[in-house]
Amino acid sequence: MTIILDTHNPLIGLAILKGMLKCELAGMKRSRSPSAYSMVKKRLGFKGNRQSVYDQLCLYIEYQKRDYLIGIQEEAQHHAIH
């Protein structure tokens, strides 16, 4: 899982963590590895119960998507000028 979470596009890893955490909210458990809940809390410093951390993660992903798209637009404009 580490390879997937450390991709060049962090949105992919965040989307995977979001899906894993959603499964944990539905009652699924992982064996022999840290929970998505603990990974998100450690990686992003969120606090609270699983639902609260999930909600924070969803909001964080939306902000990351927005920033990523703004960066792509700025890069495209820069290349169009030059």
Q: What mean pLDDT comes out for the span 37-59?
A: 97
Residue 1 has pLDDT above 50, yes or no: no
Contact present, 30 and 36 (Cβ < 8 Å): yes
Mean pLDDT lowest among 2-6, 21-25, 30-34, 76-80: 2-6
Q: Is the pLDDT of residue 3 over 50?
A: no
| Average of per-residue pLDDT across 16-20 | 94
| For residues 13-40, average pLDDT | 93
Where in the chain are the domains? 2-81
- What pLDDT is recorded for position 7? 55
Task: Give residue 10's pLDDT band: very low, low, confident or very high (50, 70, 90).
Answer: confident
Paired tokens of 29: 């458990």
Q: Extract the tokens encoding 76.
A: 């495209």
51 close to 25: Cβ distance less than 8 angstroms:
yes
| Cβ neighbours of residue 24 closer than 8 Å, sequence gap 6 or more | 30, 35, 36, 37, 50
Q: State the pLDDT at residue 77.
A: 80
